[in-house]
A and B are shown apart, each in its own frame.
Chain A
Amino acid sequence: MNLERYEFFDSNDYYDYEFYSEGPKGRIRKLVTFAKIPGTEPPIFNLAFGDRFADTGELDDMSITNNLDRDIVLSTVANTINTFCDHHGNHYIYVEGSTPSRTRLYQMGIAGLWEEICLDFEVYGLKDNGWHEFKPNRINYDAFLVKRK
């Protein structure tokens, strides 16, 4: 994948990542966290993404930044998946927005970068209680499963 992305920072165990979105709203600190979903073996990890609460430092998955850099942010998140897989293996990664509209935004982002993303990742969309190979712009999915090839 050869997309524009931000530099990012990893935790020592490669479960947590941070980077800064840059745009008209300023520099916004973004967090990506991979957490094992209990009861899954081989493990499946949930990818949580959002802004950092300034006061608590916790992940805020409800914030709306509108910093006009969605594709750069998404390719940076994709890069964190790649780094996570380098250190923890090519496991399924579950991604769902905190709201249906945010899941839709993720879908638009994946679709927009699909020609690059499909080179490195298998992506499945959840619809009607089943997983389907991701098809850009055809169906509104409820969640995504991503696995590095």
Chain B
Amino acid sequence: MSTTVKERNTMKGFGPGVVSSDVKSHANDPAVLRQVEKAMETLKRVGLPKQKNK
């Protein structure tokens, strides 16, 4: 159930997350499968960015 939070619990800068067995795979969720399918079609059509000359 949602609760109103007055102060956000945040931190600054890049850093590692906390590994948790509660985080499950969503690779087979319908929304993810739909997005992957769309991305695959787009990349087949347009390819990748041209490499910059260094």
Contact = CB atoms under 8 A, between A and B. Distances in A.
A22 B9 contact: yes
A72 B43 contact: no
Contacts, number: 157
A25 B8 CA distance: 12
B10 A4 contact: yes
B24 interface: yes
Given A5-B12, A9-B17, A131 B48 contact: yes
Interface SS majority for chain B: loop
Interface residues of A, number: 62
Interface string B26-53: 1101111001101110111111111000
Contacts of B25: 11, 13, 15-16, 33
Residue in B5, B14, B19, B42 with the greatest tally of chain A CB atoms within 10 Å:
B14
Interface of A: 1-13, 15-18, 22-28, 31, 33, 35, 37-40, 44, 46, 48, 50, 57-62, 69, 72, 79-80, 82-83, 86, 92, 94, 96, 98, 120, 124, 126, 129-133, 143, 145
